[in-house]
Amino acid sequence: GIQVEQSPPDLILQEGANSTLRCNFSDSVNNLQWFHQNPWGQLINLFYIPSGTKQNGRLSATTVATERYSLLYISSSQTTDSGVYFCAVDPSRDDKIIFGKGTRLHILP
Amino acid sequence: DTEVTQTPKHLVMGMTNKKSLKCEQHMGHRAMYWYKQKAKKPPELMFVYSYEKLSINESVPSRFSPECPNSSLLNLHLHALQPEDSALYLCASSRQGAKYEQYFGPGTRLTVT
C-alpha cells in the first residue's frame, strides 16, 4: 500500500521562528489534507490541497503531486501552534485516507 | 458550519459494561467514519459508512458495533471491552467519500478498567 512519511518527527522552536514540515507519499493520490491536533486531541483542518499552493494567515502549504510531496510552512510561530501536525492522503484505491505518523511541534515561549 | 459533535467527551467503563459513543453532523455529508487513536500514534480507521451503509470494516473485533441510524448520526456500541481498547475515539465525516475533505469531531476519551 501507499507509504506516507512525514519529517521531521519532532521539532522544538522558539516563539517567532519559522518552520517547514514535509510529507512524502509513495503513489499518486486524489487528495491531501494537513491537520493540526491540539493537546486536547481535536484534529483541526488546516488545508485540503491535492495540488498547488494555499495560504491561510501565517500558514501556507504547497503540494507537488507529480513529485509526490507536500510542504507545510508555519511563520512567526506562536505557542498555540504546538501540537502534532498530520498529513493524510487518499490513494484512490478505496474509500479511506492514510495518515502519516505526524510531526510533533513544540513552540517555546 | 463544519462541526462534528461527539458525546460523551470522556467515558470510563468496566470490562463487563455496555456503552455507546455518539457522533452527529449537520453538513449533509454522506460518508461517516470511526477512528481509534492511541497515544503518540496517528488515527487508525475502524469503520466507514457511505450513504448509511457500512462500506469498510477494518477487521475490527466484534466487541465494537457501529450503527448509522440516519445520514446525520453515527453510533459506536461498546461491549466487553479490554483495557487495551482504552484510546481516543474520533468520528469524522466528508461530503461523499475519501476524496473529499474530512472533518473530525473532538473525540471521546475512553478508559476501560
Residues A23-49: pLDDT tens digits?
A: 999 999 989 999 999 999 999 999 999
Provide the shortest C-alpha distance from residue B5 to chain A (in Å).
11
Measured in degrees and rounded to the nearest 5, phi and psi for residue B97 equal 165, -170
Dihedral angle over CA of A56, B105, B42, A82, nearest 10? 50
Out of A41, A86, A96, closest to residue B42 by CB: A86
Q: Cell triple for residue B30?
A: 454522506
- Residue A63 pLDDT greater than 80, yes or no: yes
Distance CA(B32)–CA(A40), nearest Å, equals: 22
Q: What is the DSSP letter of A41?
A: -
Residue B1 has pLDDT above 80, yes or no: no
Checking if the pLDDT of A92 tops 80, the result is: no
* Residues of chain A contacting residue B104, judged by C-beta atoms under 8 Å apart: 35, 42-43, 45
Q: Which residue of B has its CA nearest to A104?
A: B40
Rounded CA gap, B41 and B87, in Å? 11
| Interacting residues of A54 by C-beta distance below 8 A, sequence separation 6+ | A47, A60, A61
